[in-house]
Amino acid sequence: MSTDLFCEIIAGERPATMVHSDEVAVSFLDSRPVFKGHVLVVPRVHVETLADLAGVGPFFERVQAMARAVEQGLEAGGTFVAMNNRVSQSVPHLHVHVVPRRKKDGLRGFFWPRTTYASAEEATSYADLIAKAL
């Protein structure tokens, strides 16, 4: 296994606010969210890009379920689902952003402003709402 940040989270060597984990994917809150409730879905196996991923179907079933859960759990109007391959990929481990969206939330194009959680408890409350919706 590689030693990137996401592999460390998957191995339990680095803390993260977990939303869901199974044999295919691990989902946790982004530590620098675009909007509160922004989830990263990463494959449990280390791959850098989408082209490297075997089992694309099962992984994207998890992404689809997470998009649904973010909308339902946070009562969001929709989601923004995005992935980078190498260029603009902050961690060299495939990851999909699932960002809650609301009308007039201010997100424009590919400029991603970032926010923070007031506390670990606030982050956990968002993770719990999404996890319950799964």
C-alpha–C-alpha distance, residues 30 and 28, integer Å: 6
Looking at residue 111, its pLDDT comes to 64
**Is the pLDDT confidence value at 110 over 90?**
no
Is 82 inside a domain boundary? yes
Q: Which of 20, 38, 93, 95 is catalytic?
A: 95
Is 121 inside a domain boundary? no
Tens digits of per-residue pLDDT, 27-74? 999 999 999 999 999 999 999 999 999 999 999 999 999 999 999 999
Active site residue 95: yes
Residue 52 token pair: 């490297």
The CATH code of the domain that includes 34 is 3.30.428.10
pTM of the model: 0.87
C-alpha–C-alpha distance, residues 130 and 45, integer Å: 23
Question: Range of 91's domain?
Answer: 5-107
Residues 6 or more apart in contact with residue 38 via CB below 8 angstroms: 29, 30, 97, 98, 99, 100
